[in-house]
Each structure stands twice: as structure tokens, then as C-alpha cells.
Amino acid sequence: MKNKRIIDSWNKIEPDSAADVRMLDAILARNRLGRFEKRKVFTMNKAFNWKRLAPVAACLVMIIAVTAIFGNNAGWFGSKVYTAELNGGTLSFYKSGSLGAENKLDFGVDVTSRDLTAEENNTLFGDLGVTSHGVFSESDKMLLHVEGRAGNAKVILAAHGTPVSDAVIETNRNTSEVNGIQVSAGYFITHANSQGIKTIIYLASFDMNGVQIYVECGGSQDMSEEWKSEIAYVIDTLIQNGTPNLSAINE
């Protein structure tokens, strides 16, 4: 014992019998109430656990919905649609398959070919600045097929009933209407090369009064927007120019 005075003094401090009974009664009353409340809370909790899952489930649904919407637009699920605004309407590029098997360019007649002159290119393509090579029917000297370049874009004109390209392209059938012309446009992305670079190629085909027109433009995927703008400009100009007059040029 370290200090008897303090101990003696503290020993005098204790509840009297009346206070003792009062405190114990209150404590036991609370204990009975506490047991009742704890049982009640326990049964409520079992039901409440399910209800608490409702907001969590709602959040999950929201997250999935938002992911689906943004993911779809961003092409996370492989179906992104690129669009380009043209003067005559909105052109949509749908994801296509890929370049398929090569197809032999067979015109069914004997042909000759040569580079078209600047004046002839201007006749066919206007001010697009195209340099091109033409294929003519040997017998009647008619222009059957033209393949040219406008910047990075490849442009092909083909007379009605002649093959357009030597490559079979798995295109999506969806079309967009530009100035009343139904344009089938798509794109495909190659596998990454040894340097990890993927190539995106935009392509479009449409028909103007029997003249088949095919346009293609592409390059590194990280410059996707530039290729899309370039092909959109070429398509828009070709449509604005009207039907190319193949009969104006002959061998």
C-alpha cells in the first residue's frame, strides 16, 4: 500500500444501498432492453442485407451500360464506326473484313494501256491532281479502266461491266447517302507488323451513272483521322464533279 491516507479516504467513497439498488435496476432494465434490441436488429439485418445489395446491383448495371455504350463507340468490341462529314451528307465507314484473294483483272477483250495526260486526268478527275494509268479496248479504243493516285489515295474508275480491282474486298453492306449517291464505305485494320505498327485502310465504292468508282486511302493507324479526312475529301470532290466522262478519252 503506497499511501494509507489516500486509501482510507477513497474507501469512504461508495454508493449507499439506495443508490446501489437504483443503479442495478437501471442497468438490468437496459440489459433486458438490449437483448430485445439485439435480437430485433439481428433479424432485421438478415433482411436488410439483401436490400443493401440493391444499390450495388444498380451501380453495376450502370457501369456495364456505360461501358457498353462507350466501348461500342470506341471500338472495344470491334465494331467502331468512323464517320466523316461531307458537303453532301455524312459518310460512315463500317468495319470490314480484309482484302481477300486476288482476282485477275479480266476485261474480256484485248486491251492496251498508257498513262493519261494531265489534260485527260483533269477531264476525268477535275482539280483533284490525279496522275493515272488507263486501260483501253484494243478494238474500239474505248477507255475501260483508270487507276490513279490523288495524294495518298488510290482512285479507280471502271466502265460498266468491267472489273474494278484485282483484290476481292470483304466489305460491309451498309451504305451512306452523299448527294443522292449510295456510297458503300468501310475500313479494315491489319495485324501489327514487326515494329508493332498496325495499318488502317479506308475504302469506298459507289456507282455514278454506270461508272464504277473505287477509292482507297490508308497508312499507320495512329494517323487514322488524317487518312479518313483525305479519302473523304476525294470522295466528296468526285461526287461534286459528277459522272466521269470515260467516253471523252480514247486510245
Sole window of 19-27, 137-145, 167-175, 227-235 interacting with other proteins (rule: CB under 8 A)? 19-27
* Element holding 113 (H helix, E strand): strand 111-115
Q: 244: which 3 cell numbers?
A: 466521269
Nearer to other proteins by C-beta: 8 or 170?
8
In the complex, minimum distance from the CB of residue 47 to other proteins, in angstroms, rounded to a whole number: 20
| CB-based contact 229:215 (threshold 8 Å) | no
- Does 9 bind other proteins (CB under 8 A)? Our answer is yes
| CB-based contact 133:121 (threshold 8 Å) | no
Q: Total residues at the site for other proteins (CB under 8 A)? A: 29
Sole window of 15-23, 114-122, 154-162, 200-208 interacting with other proteins (rule: CB under 8 A)? 15-23
Q: What are phi and psi of 103, to 5 degrees?
A: -120, 135
What are residue 140's DSSP bridge partners? none
Binding residue for other proteins (CB under 8 A) from 2, 46, 51, 173?
2
Nearer to other proteins by C-beta: 6 or 68?
6
Considering only residues 177-236, where is the footprint of other proteins by CB under 8 A?
none
In the complex, minimum distance from the CB of residue 43 to other proteins, in angstroms, rounded to a whole number: 14
In the complex, minimum distance from the CB of residue 49 to other proteins, in angstroms, rounded to a whole number: 18
CA distance 152 to 161: 27
In the complex, minimum distance from the CB of residue 46 to other proteins, in angstroms, rounded to a whole number: 16
Q: Using the Cα atoms of residue 23, residue 24, residue 30 and residue 31 in order, give the sign of their dihedral.
A: positive
Q: Which regions of 14-138 does DSSP assign to beta strands (E)?
A: 82-86, 89-95, 99-102, 111-115, 131-137
Q: Show Cβ contacts of residue 11 under 8 Å, excluding neighbours closer than 6 positions.
A: none
In the complex, minimum distance from the CB of residue 17 to other proteins, in angstroms, rounded to a whole number: 10
Sole window of 1-9, 93-101, 115-123, 163-171 interacting with other proteins (rule: CB under 8 A)? 1-9
| CB-based contact 184:206 (threshold 8 Å) | yes
Q: Using the Cα atoms of residue 123, residue 125, residue 131 and residue 132 in order, give the sign of their dihedral.
A: negative
Nearer to other proteins by C-beta: 28 or 197?
28
Considering only residues 22-81, where is the footprint of other proteins by CB under 8 A?
22-24, 26-28, 30-32, 34-35, 38
In the complex, minimum distance from the CB of residue 3 to other proteins, in angstroms, rounded to a whole number: 5
In the complex, minimum distance from the CB of residue 35 to other proteins, in angstroms, rounded to a whole number: 5
Nearer to other proteins by C-beta: 38 or 51?
38
Q: 7: which 3 cell numbers?
A: 486509501
CA 220 centroid distance within chain: 16
Residues that bind other proteins (CB under 8 A): 1-10, 12-16, 19-20, 22-24, 26-28, 30-32, 34-35, 38
